[in-house]
Amino acid sequence: MPPLDDTIETDLVIIGGGPTGLFAAYYAGFRGLRVAVIDSLPELGGQVTAMYPEKAILDVAGFPTVKGRELVAGLVEQAAVADPTYLLGRSATKMTTGDDGVSVGLEDGTTVSAKAALITAGIGKFSPRPLPAADDWIGRGVEFFVPSFAPYQGKDVVIVGGGDSAFDWAVHLEPIAKSVTLVHRRDAFRAHERTVEQVRASSVEIITKAEISAIRGGSSVEEIDIAVGDEIITRPAQAVVAALGFIADLGPMKEWGLELDKRHVVVDSAMKTNLDRVFAAGDITEYPGKVRLIAVGFGEAATAVNNAAVAIDPSAHVFPGHSSEGS
* Residue that terminates a domain, selected from 211, 242, 273: 242
**What is the model's pLDDT at position 324?**
62
Give me the domain span that covers residue 41: 7-126+246-312
Q: Higher-confidence residue: 111 or 58?
A: 111
CA–CA gap between residue 234 and residue 232 (Å, rounded): 7
| Tens digits of residue pLDDT in 206-254 | 999 999 999 999 999 999 999 999 999 999 999 999 998 877 778 899 9
106 within some domain: yes
How many other C-beta atoms can be found within 10 angstroms of the C-beta atom of residue 302? 20
Give the contacts of 107 (CB within 8 A, at least 6 positions apart). Answer: 90, 91, 92, 93
Could you list the residues known to form a binding site, using ranges: 20, 39, 47, 52, 92, 126, 283, 324
Whether the model pTM is above 0.85: no
Residues 267 and 118 occupy one common structural domain: yes
Is the CB of residue 149 less than 8 Å from the CB of residue 172?
yes
Is the CB of residue 156 less than 8 Å from the CB of residue 239?
yes
Asked if pLDDT for residue 124 goes beyond 80, the answer is no
Please report, for the domain that includes residue 141, its CATH number: 3.50.50.60
320 within some domain: no
59 within some domain: yes
Residues 121 and 251 occupy one common structural domain: yes
Asked if pLDDT for residue 112 goes beyond 70, the answer is yes
Helix (H, G, I), strand (E, B) or coil at 105: strand
Asked if pLDDT for residue 326 goes beyond 60, the answer is no
Could you list the residues known to form a binding site for FAD, using ranges: 20, 39, 47, 52, 92, 126, 283, 324
Is the CB of residue 309 less than 8 Å from the CB of residue 31?
yes
* Residue that terminates a domain, selected from 203, 223, 242: 242
**What is the model's pLDDT at position 327?**
47
Residues 74 and 154 occupy one common structural domain: no
Q: Mean pLDDT throughout 140-146?
A: 89
> Domain count of the chain?
2
The H or E element that residue 294 is part of is helix 294-312
Residues 44 and 90 occupy one common structural domain: yes
* Residue that terminates a domain, selected from 242, 268, 303: 242
